[in-house]
Chain A
Amino acid sequence: MKTRKQEFWSGVRDEAPILLGVVPFGLLFGALAISAHLSTLAAQAMSSIIFAGSAQFIAAQLIGTGTSGLVIIMVVFVVNLRHALYSASVAPHVKHLKAGWKLLLSYLLTDEAYAVTITHYNREGDSEDRHWYFLGAGLTLWSSWQVSTAVGIFIGTQIPAGWPLGFILPLTFIALVVPALKDRAGVAAALVAGLVGLLAFGLPFKTGLLLAALTGILTGLLVEGRPK
């Protein structure tokens, strides 16, 4: 069995490749927040208070256009609703933990940390200390998000056009999803979710993504059928 330290560093290591895709977005967010006339302090604080890439981009743009606070709050809430699915998905794995751990890991539950952590939880048998892996992955993403936001605020984005670093993120997700497809129900869930995600891509505030995920999960359940 792995020690806590080993779990933690495995989480850090497995999160690392994603950073290549995340850092450019952090730079871009920092630069965009400044051009939307947020103060440097507010721009940096948003990355730790909200800590959710797409929601931050939308919020900064809405602040820049003088949208009312209530609308911004609603939009951020809706854009981040998919995290409730992640919460349900990791809940059985963290239920033995103390309240403090649950609060900390909830704060760190982003798309990128969720993707590698749930893969780790599903791949290897139960061990008491796998929340250290979650912490390692989550903190790695968190720190790189804070630092890249800061660099974006003060220096701007210097990444040459034509380097498609944003492609790292879907590639990493492909690497995590494909090996996890082990039965018909899982494949059906993935295909339907992907297809609905594609068709509903135009829906505002990531509601297409949420709709696609829910349709995919439902499809998986239907294909699997009732338990014997």
Chain B
Amino acid sequence: MNIWLVMLIAGLLTFATRLSFIFLLERIRVPDWFRRGLRFVPVAVLSAIILPELTSPNGDLFLSWRNPLLLAGMVAILVAWRTKNVILTIVAGMAALLVLRFVLGMV
């Protein structure tokens, strides 16, 4: 199959997926639990992205106190909880990671 055709179909399918409920939700009847479930989407999806990033730095599970990403992530969680500030959270998490890596020599 022509590579442009492949990209075009894949792009249209991606677009259709993104449009799906934006288009459908006001046109179809959905059960009540579906609407109540929507408020959990951001915390669930983002947590499901975050945790593997912290625990599997190279694709393999690294659940240990010697994992600097995990420790720096915990610092960031603490700062996010106390300050609710995005920039402070990023700076604290990055600073923690750089200290763990370059000062304490963790990899």
Chain A interface residues (CB < 8 Å from chain B): 14, 17, 38, 42, 45-46, 49-52, 55, 59, 63, 68-70, 72-73, 76-77, 80-92, 94-95, 102-103, 105-107, 109, 111, 114-115, 118-119, 122, 162, 164, 167-181, 185-186, 189-198, 201, 208-209, 212-218, 220-221, 224, 227
Contacts and interface: CB of A to CB of B under 8 A. Distances in A.
Contacts of A162: 101
Interface string B55-98: 11000010000000100110011001100111101100110010
Interface of A is mostly: helix
A22 B13 CA distance: 23
A209 B81 contact: no
Contact of B4 (A42, A51, A94, A114): A42
A214 B36 CA distance: 13
Contact of A80 (B13, B23, B46, B51): B13
Interface residues of B, number: 67
B94 A167 contact: yes
Contacts of A175: 76, 80, 85-86, 89-90
Interface in B1-53: 1-11, 13-15, 17-26, 32-53
Contacts of A49: 7-8, 10-11
Contacts, number: 257
Interface of B is mostly: helix
Nearest to B25: A91
Q: Which of A105, A218, A220 has the most CB of B within 10 A?
A: A220
B39 to A, nearest CB: 8
Contacts of B13: 73, 76-77, 80
Contact of A181 (B8, B43, B48): B43
Nearest to B7: A49
B7 A45 contact: yes
The 3 closest A-B pairs by CB, nearest first: A69-B1, A216-B44, A197-B48
B67 to A, nearest CB: 12
B48 A51 contact: no
